[in-house]
Amino acid sequence: MLKAGSGTVTMDLGTQGSAKGSFTMKDGKMEQSMEMGIQGQTLQIVSTGGIIYMKGLPGSSKPWVKIDPKGTDPMSKMFAGLTGDMGDPRQLATALKGSKATVVSSSADEKVYDVTIDPTALLGGSTATASPSVAPVKARYTLDSQDRPTKMTVDSQGQTINIVFSDWGKPVTITVPPADQVGTFQLPTS
């Protein structure tokens, strides 16, 4: 992923919706632009330089909302954990440490693995933040001949999520929304 530098992704999130977008690696961190369809609504997300911009949120004074891990507005405080390390693909590798992978198939073109992931590892290893009733997450990873992910299927809590990666190494430009279109989320007052 780091070597390829860029690519595209499409996600089928089961009953939760779908998403598509592109990403590029900059200084070892992932920057991305995504469009998500969730329950009939379209949400656009741009993540760059540790900042997340979201378009399509009700209650925003401007089309785009800025989420800054150092921000003092309610939205930045609520989503501060999504910025920073979440854009670093090495975090998934850290979460997978200690997981057992089983080779399902292997050829010159691709390798397919089944992995069972401890959900507490995905939450930073804190058992206090994970519900004790959350079952392990089962995933199937397909890697190409250069060890880049091409497909990932995740089964968790009765949902199946399919993620397809493609266009490895093709140029991608992530554009920050214009400053005059960016505001902060305002909580409704009654």
| Distance (Å, whole) CA 23 – CA 87 | 10
Q: Per residue in 82-107, pLDDT tens?
A: 555 544 555 666 666 777 889 999 99
CATH topology for 6-183?
Answer: outer membrane lipoprotein receptor (LolB), chain A (2.50.20)
Give 48's strand partners: 51
d(CA 117, CA 120): 9
pLDDT at residue 4 is higher than 90: no
* DSSP alpha helix (H) spans, 26-177: 74-79, 90-96, 119-122
Quick: pLDDT tens for 105-159: 999 999 999 998 877 665 555 444 445 556 778 899 999 999 888 999 988 778 8
User: For the purposes of burial, counting CB atoms within 10 Å of the CB of 52, is it exposed (0-12), middle (13-18) or buried (19 or more)?
Assistant: buried
**Mean model confidence pLDDT for the chain:** 81
Tokens for 124? 């930073």
Higher-confidence residue of 44 and 131: namely: 44
Phi first, then psi: give them for residue 52, nearest 5 degrees: -115, 135
Q: What is the pLDDT of residue 111?
A: 95
Q: Is the pLDDT of residue 168 over 80?
A: yes
Q: What is the structure's pLDDT at 15?
A: 78
Distance of CA 185 to the CA centre of its chain: 21
Side-chain half-sphere CA neighbours of 44 within 13 A? 12
DSSP 83: S
pTM for this predicted structure: 0.76
Torsion angles phi and psi, residue 119, rounded to 5: -60, -25
Report the DSSP pairing between strands 6-12 and 18-26. Answer: antiparallel
Query: Is a pLDDT exceeding 60 seen at residue 79?
Result: yes
Range ranked top by mean pLDDT from 45-54, 131-140, 181-190? 45-54
